[in-house]
Chain A
Amino acid sequence: MKILIVEDEQRLMESMVTYLKSENFIVEEAPDYKTARQKIEMFTYDCILLDVSLPDGDGLSLLQELKANKKTEGVIVISARNSIGDRIQGLNLGADDYLTKPFHLSELNARILAVIRRRHFQGQQVLVFNELTIDLIAKTVYVNEKAVELTRKEYDLLLYLAYNKNRVISKNAIAEHLSGDDAEIFTNYDFIYSHMKNLKKKLQQAGCKEYIRSVYGMGYKFDI
């Protein structure tokens, strides 16, 4: 899987590259509009992360160009401006998703995987971890081929953990992922704990090994 990151902020770029490289992505960097344009013309990517504000141009016009040239890349627009107008504009121009700074790397990773999965129908539609199978189309979880009844939040939680397998995901990242926009108003860890507890219990009862573990109260990890 090949990914292009268009981001002018060097340190943020480093973080994204480090995180995504260990997910076995091939990551290319473009710190400005010009480089990004050259790379897009020459190569094909599975997903492009596009910062809206670049020193030498508007990321959104790059997106426009991509769409005009019928490129098939999935595009996730990243912006420091959390305004609905920007979000709608980005999505209207054909972006697959929209992330606002600051975002969690685990969230970014999950979004990239989701975009790639949606873009490539021939791609992986089930995630299999030994006895645990997650059907991404039917949004169903099986343990030893037996369906496990999960609530939507529990399913989201499991998928988020699975997408970021073998990584510590901070409590904040999980809280934000689960509560979406409410997270700006609400950060209730009790809420995560109860969902986590229920998910673990259901998986365990279905005969699944304990893949999810807490890391010193700092976050959670899906160990496989």
Chain B
Amino acid sequence: MRLNNKTIRNYLSYSSVIFLLTIPVFYFVVRKVLLHSVDSSLKAQFHEIRENLDEIHTRDELEAWAKMDKDISLTPTNTPKQDRIYSTTRYSPKHREEEPFREIAGNITVGGQLYQLVISSSLVENEDLLLSILQVQISVLLVLIGGMLWINQKISRRLWQPFYIALKNMQTFELNKQSDLAFKPSTTDEFNELNKAINNLFSRSTQLYQHQKEFTENASHEMQTPLAIFQSKLELLMQTSPISEEQAGIINALDETNRRLIKLNKSLLLLTRIENNQYQTTEILSIAQLCQRQIRQFQPYADNRNLTVHTRFNAEITVNANPILIEILIANLLTNAIRYNRDNGEIAVTTDNNTLTIENTGAFAALDPDRIFDRFHKQNGQEDSTGLGLAIVKNICTLYNYAVNYNFNNGWHFFTISFRITPESSSTFTANYHHQ
């Protein structure tokens, strides 16, 4: 649940509770006030009648007066009673329903005769008033709560906007990608502090990462010269005479090891260069053409192991990327397909809609798909490998947002690259490339 909604939810439940409580409280309070006012008026009326009784002298006069006012009833009685006020209902022939009344009853004496005097006041109008007041009250409360919610929504969205921008920046932040993240300056101190803290964190992480990368690149770079010296000295050692077979064997082993070191170092350097985004120039490249060129180039190595290479270019794929990197990408997968094949094996290079698949029969069982793209991950029997070839493939794919996947099926190893969909890549493929 969003923070905004959470605040609103609390407001809403609080308002609802207050709202529900207010209705009965309000009803009873207003009712009580109204009754009180009716009672006072009744009492005042009764009091006035008693005061003015002296002016009435005969029974007929009294009855005529009582008849004049419908709200007054006068009945002769023998038992004196205390004054009392009460509520009652009476049938109204006019409205054909029971109507509420408030009555005051008391005794008066006129001409020596004791009478019971009842003055009643209809409460219908009071009830109506009460209802109207309640209606107004409810509407006002509803409008108030609704307005508050609306304003809250609107203000919150604006108020929290810097926060959501900061959040989005954090979500999109990637260490290995240079990006200028724009934070929205806010009038709220907390958000400005937050932005400042995040910015600091970003720049510190980027800086650390940059140092780390530079270190790797510099280290590989610094290693070139000693490796060159070592290699040159070995070559000179080879020229010395006489040289025994035993010595030759040792020199050969040293030379072999040095070659591996050089290869490893070059691969590391390439990796850091990709990560440091040093291959920035891009061109529109045809994957099928590049594959064909690479296959031609590696054909002698494939022939050497008697491998059959099938090509199935079912779709034309064009990418906008650095030519060197795409060549390395294809070359690494192709050379792996050759190197880790079995003699007399097969290789198939296929393009379909936006995917390139390089598959080969293999000398190895299924590889661990979770780890093969890791640096320095080696299977048994790959002593000669640097363990960086597929890490380089993965890095190039990451750089261009391609997906690379490994599958194993029925003795075949599949490496599939899904290229990002670009407008140029959707054209169907017609000429030039046919099944080999």
- Once bound together, how far apart are the Cα atoms of A18 and B240, in whole Å? 12
A12 interface neighbour in B225, B238, B298, B384, Cβ under 8 Å: B225
Considering only CB atoms, which chain B residue lies closest to A100 in the complex? B224
B32 to chain A, nearest CB (A): 93
Establish whether residues A188 and B236, one from each chain, have CB atoms under 8 Å apart when the complex forms: no
Establish whether residues A185 and B332, one from each chain, have CB atoms under 8 Å apart when the complex forms: yes
Q: Check: A129 CB closer than 8 A to any chain B CB.
A: no
Q: Mark B252-290, 1 if CB is under 8 A from A, else 0.
A: 100110010011001001000100001000000000000
Answer whether A105 and B232 are a contact pair too, CB < 8 Å, given A168-B239, A216-B252. Answer: yes
- Once bound together, how far apart are the Cα atoms of A81 and B228, in whole Å? 13
Establish whether residues A80 and B225, one from each chain, have CB atoms under 8 Å apart when the complex forms: yes
Q: Check: B206 CB closer than 8 A to any chain A CB.
A: no
- Once bound together, how far apart are the Cα atoms of A173 and B252, in whole Å? 12
B contact patch SS: helix
A188 interface neighbour in B227, B235, B263, B304, Cβ under 8 Å: B304
Tier of interface size on chain B: 35 or more
Establish whether residues B304 and A190, one from each chain, have CB atoms under 8 Å apart when the complex forms: yes
Q: Check: B248 CB closer than 8 A to any chain A CB.
A: yes
Q: Check: A11 CB closer than 8 A to any chain B CB.
A: yes
- Once bound together, how far apart are the Cα atoms of A172 and B236, in whole Å? 14
Q: Check: A194 CB closer than 8 A to any chain B CB.
A: yes
Q: Check: B22 CB closer than 8 A to any chain A CB.
A: no
Q: Check: A94 CB closer than 8 A to any chain B CB.
A: no
Name the residue among A83, A184, A217 with the largest chain B CB count within 10 angstroms: A184
Answer whether A191 and B300 are a contact pair too, CB < 8 Å, given A19-B232, A168-B238, A170-B238. Answer: yes
Q: Check: B3 CB closer than 8 A to any chain A CB.
A: no
**Residues of A within 8 Å of B, CB-based: how many?**
40
Q: Check: A182 CB closer than 8 A to any chain B CB.
A: yes
A84 / chain B contacts, CB cutoff of 8 Å = 324
A101 / chain B contacts, CB cutoff of 8 Å = 224-225, 227-228
A18 to chain B, nearest CB (A): 6
Establish whether residues A217 and B225, one from each chain, have CB atoms under 8 Å apart when the complex forms: no
B304 interface neighbour in A182, A185, A194, A219, Cβ under 8 Å: A194
B297 / chain A contacts, CB cutoff of 8 Å = 182
B255 interface neighbour in A9, A170, A186, Cβ under 8 Å: A170
Q: Check: A104 CB closer than 8 A to any chain B CB.
A: yes
A118 / chain B contacts, CB cutoff of 8 Å = none
- Once bound together, how far apart are the Cα atoms of A184 and B392, in whole Å? 13
Q: Check: B60 CB closer than 8 A to any chain A CB.
A: no
Answer whether A187 and B259 are a contact pair too, CB < 8 Å, given A105-B232, A173-B235. Answer: yes
Establish whether residues A15 and B233, one from each chain, have CB atoms under 8 Å apart when the complex forms: yes
Establish whether residues A216 and B221, one from each chain, have CB atoms under 8 Å apart when the complex forms: no
Establish whether residues B235 and A12, one from each chain, have CB atoms under 8 Å apart when the complex forms: no
Considering only CB atoms, which chain B residue lies closest to A195 in the complex? B300
Q: Check: B251 CB closer than 8 A to any chain A CB.
A: yes
Establish whether residues A215 and B335, one from each chain, have CB atoms under 8 Å apart when the complex forms: no
Considering only CB atoms, which chain A residue lies closest to B245 in the complex? A216
- Once bound together, how far apart are the Cα atoms of A12 and B235, in whole Å? 12
A190 / chain B contacts, CB cutoff of 8 Å = 304
B332 / chain A contacts, CB cutoff of 8 Å = 185
A11 / chain B contacts, CB cutoff of 8 Å = 229, 233
Q: Mark A129-140, 1 if CB is under 8 A from B, else 0.
A: 000000000000
A82 / chain B contacts, CB cutoff of 8 Å = 266, 269
- Once bound together, how far apart are the Cα atoms of A191 and B252, in whole Å? 18
Establish whether residues A172 and B225, one from each chain, have CB atoms under 8 Å apart when the complex forms: no
- Once bound together, how far apart are the Cα atoms of A103 and B262, in whole Å? 10
Q: Check: B307 CB closer than 8 A to any chain A CB.
A: no
Q: Check: A202 CB closer than 8 A to any chain B CB.
A: no
A106 / chain B contacts, CB cutoff of 8 Å = 235
Q: Check: A68 CB closer than 8 A to any chain B CB.
A: no
A102 interface neighbour in B231, B273, B331, Cβ under 8 Å: B231
Establish whether residues B249 and A216, one from each chain, have CB atoms under 8 Å apart when the complex forms: yes
B266 interface neighbour in A182, A184, A186, A187, Cβ under 8 Å: A184
Considering only CB atoms, which chain A residue lies closest to B278 in the complex? A83
- Once bound together, how far apart are the Cα atoms of A172 and B257, in whole Å? 11
B235 interface neighbour in A15, A185, A191, Cβ under 8 Å: A15
Q: Mark A185-224, 1 if CB is under 8 A from B, else 0.
A: 1111011001000000000000000000001111100000
Give the residues from 139 to 194 in chain A that come closer than 8 angstroms, CB to CB, to chain B.
153, 167-168, 170-173, 182, 184-188, 190-191, 194
Q: Check: B301 CB closer than 8 A to any chain A CB.
A: yes
- Once bound together, how far apart are the Cα atoms of A158 and B235, in whole Å? 19
Q: Check: B234 CB closer than 8 A to any chain A CB.
A: yes
B238 / chain A contacts, CB cutoff of 8 Å = 168, 170, 215, 218-219
A216 interface neighbour in B230, B248, B263, B335, Cβ under 8 Å: B248
- Once bound together, how far apart are the Cα atoms of A82 and B331, in whole Å? 18
A185 / chain B contacts, CB cutoff of 8 Å = 331-332, 335, 389
Q: Mark A82-114, 1 if CB is under 8 A from B, else 0.
A: 111000000000000000011111100000000
B250 to chain A, nearest CB (A): 9
Establish whether residues B229 and A12, one from each chain, have CB atoms under 8 Å apart when the complex forms: yes
Considering only CB atoms, which chain B residue lies closest to A103 in the complex? B228
Establish whether residues B236 and A15, one from each chain, have CB atoms under 8 Å apart when the complex forms: yes
Q: Mark B387-399, 1 if CB is under 8 A from A, else 0.
A: 0010000000000
- Once bound together, how far apart are the Cα atoms of A190 and B304, in whole Å? 8
Establish whether residues A102 and B227, one from each chain, have CB atoms under 8 Å apart when the complex forms: yes
Name the residue among B225, B266, B304 with the largest chain A CB count within 10 angstroms: B225
Considering only CB atoms, which chain B residue lies closest to A175 in the complex? B259
User: What are 7 sample pairs from A and B whose C-beta atoms fall under 8 A apart?
Assistant: A12-B232, A19-B239, A80-B221, A170-B238, A186-B339, A217-B248, A218-B255
Known: A9-B225, A11-B233. 18 other contacts (CB 8 A): A9-B229, A12-B229, A15-B235, A19-B232, A19-B239, A80-B228, A83-B278, A101-B225, A102-B228, A103-B231, A104-B235, A171-B252, A171-B255, A185-B331, A186-B339, A191-B301, A216-B248, A217-B248
